């Protein structure tokens, strides 16, 4: 099928990261994707395997499917092919030019000929996700009046839309990790915003071993790391390496190779779960404090032990007190258990395909 997927980059390219993984997974299964983006600059490092077209926008071809990245305002014409599925990622609305084109080129009295229109929501473990998943939203006004949009919620339980999980992810790797001896902390990856507890973390005994190394991702986290170093005594300076921007596949390998991963946002949280290694999640902070209950709901689903829960809350500035020391065997066992539960569920793209087939 032909899919139109719409993505607006808010600030940290995480929305684009999710949409590119979704597009790539669909294309690897033989589908064709038009990915509409208002800022695709991050694809130069996020997906270097893609080829740029004459306008400087990316194309990626698979054996049977492909992705075409289109500028947000690059309108279709009368000769353009209508797609079977529209996906608004994270509540972004369709561009006005696309709405007008669709009203004239996909309008039909037979609703079965309408594209399946989905709003792919943000990831959360909160209770409302199961209640809201697959609910309809009738369009009451405008050129597409009479159509229906459907809410599709990713999630961590069987009553949600699941998580993006490519075919190369397997239960075998998780079993191997479980059976392997868990070493002392040697390498920790750091991908975060600006946690106030970062300086404190750098001084924990868990990271004080001479052989321990921090692998610091580019961007806001790297700047926060530099600032944290100004509060560290010279005789306690950590061993670290600054990393350049890396592709999604390289980032996935980085998480699998580290003993402890500090991740942020939505896409890297899912990647940390598939890596099966101990991790700390820096949730995107919101001014209204909505990130607090969201983090608590995730920790509850994770069945996080008290020390891991406390570290998360302190790392996210949601509780006072000191950071606990890292309990690597306990934390990794917790993540491994969560990963096993997720591997038993149907992945997001498979669920999307099933839902679209039902509506068509």
The enclosing domain of 260 has a CATH number of 3.40.50
147 and 186 housed in the same domain: no
150 and 6 housed in the same domain: yes
Q: How many domains does the chain have?
A: 2
134 and 205 housed in the same domain: no
Give CA separation, 297 vs 60, 152, 207, 330, 334, in Å.
37, 19, 28, 20, 16
**β-pair partners for 22:** none
95 and 82 housed in the same domain: yes
Tell me the pairing of strands 2-7 and 85-89. Answer: parallel
Select the more confidently predicted residue: 160 or 183. Answer: 160
135 and 177 housed in the same domain: no
Count of Cβ atoms closer than 10 Å to residue 134 Cβ: 16
The pTM (predicted TM-score) of the whole model is: 0.94
pLDDT band at 211 (very low <50, low <70, confident <90, very high): confident
307 and 188 housed in the same domain: yes
pLDDT per residue over 59-116, tens digit each?
999 989 999 999 999 999 989 999 999 999 998 999 999 999 999 988 666 666 789 9
Burial 191-230 (b: 16+ CB within 10 A, else e): bbbebebbbebbbbebbeeeebbbbbbeeebbebbeebee
Distance CA 280, CA 317 (A): 13
Question: Could you list the active site residues?
Answer: 15, 266
The pLDDT value recorded for residue 112 is 67
Count of Cβ atoms closer than 10 Å to residue 333 Cβ: 15
The pLDDT value recorded for residue 167 is 85
pLDDT per residue over 175-194, tens digit each?
455 445 566 789 999 999 99
**Coil, strand or helix: which one is 262?**
strand
pLDDT band at 10 (very low <50, low <70, confident <90, very high): confident
**β-pair partners for 242:** 216
Contact 94, 61 (CB under 8 A): no
Token digits for 57?
A: 């926008």
7 and 151 housed in the same domain: yes
Distance CA 316, CA 335 (A): 19
Task: Provide the residue range defining the domain that includes 82.
Answer: 2-162+346-359
229 and 258 housed in the same domain: yes
315 and 251 housed in the same domain: yes
Give CA separation, 328 vs 68, 131, 183, 312, 340, in Å.
42, 35, 8, 14, 18
DSSP state for residue 218 in the 8-state scheme:
S
120 and 178 housed in the same domain: no
Closest residue by Cα to residue 34 from 94, 112, 78, 91 = 94
325 and 238 housed in the same domain: yes
197 and 313 housed in the same domain: yes
């Amino acid at each position: 099928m032909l899919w139109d997927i719409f993505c607006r980059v808010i600030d940290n390219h995480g929305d684009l990261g999710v949409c590119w993984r979704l597009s790539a997974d669909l294309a690897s299964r033989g589908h064709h994707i038009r990915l509409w983006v208002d800022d695709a600059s991050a694809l130069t490092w996020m997906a270097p395997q893609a080829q740029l077209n004459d306008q400087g926008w990316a194309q990626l071809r698979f054996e049977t499917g492909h992705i075409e990245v289109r500028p947000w305002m690059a309108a279709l014409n009368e000769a353009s092919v209508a797609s079977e599925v529209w996906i608004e990622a994270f509540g972004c609305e369709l561009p006005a030019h696309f709405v007008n084109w669709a009203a004239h080129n996909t309008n039909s009295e037979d609703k079965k000929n309408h594209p399946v229109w989905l709003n792919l929501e943000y990831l959360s473990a909160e209770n409302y996700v199961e209640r809201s998943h697959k609910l309809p939203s009738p369009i009451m006004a405008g050129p597409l009046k009479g159509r229906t949009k459907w809410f599709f919620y990713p999630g961590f339980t069987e009553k949600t839309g699941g998580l993006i999980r490519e075919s190369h992810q397997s239960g075998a790797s998780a079993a191997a990790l479980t059976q392997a001896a868990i070493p002392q902390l040697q390498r920790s990856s750091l991908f975060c915003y600006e946690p106030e507890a970062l300086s404190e973390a750098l001084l924990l005994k868990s990271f004080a071993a001479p052989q321990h190394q921090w692998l610091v991702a580019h961007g806001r986290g790297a700047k926060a790391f530099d600032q944290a170093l100004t509060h560290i005594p010279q005789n306690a300076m950590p061993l670290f390496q600054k990393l350049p921007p890396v592709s999604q596949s390289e980032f996935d390998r980085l998480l699998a190779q580290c003993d402890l991963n500090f991740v942020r946002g939505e896409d890297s949280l899912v990647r940390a779960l598939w890596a099966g290694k101990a991790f700390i999640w820096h949730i995107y902070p919101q001014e209204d404090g909505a990130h607090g209950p969201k983090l608590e709901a995730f920790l509850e689903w994770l069945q996080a032990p008290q020390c891991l829960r406390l570290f998360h809350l302190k790392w996210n500035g949601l509780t006072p007190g000191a950071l606990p020391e890292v309990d690597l065997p306990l934390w990794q066992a917790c993540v491994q258990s969560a990963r096993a539960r997720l591997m038993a569920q149907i992945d997001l793209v498979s669920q999307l395909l099933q839902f679209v087939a039902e509506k068509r």
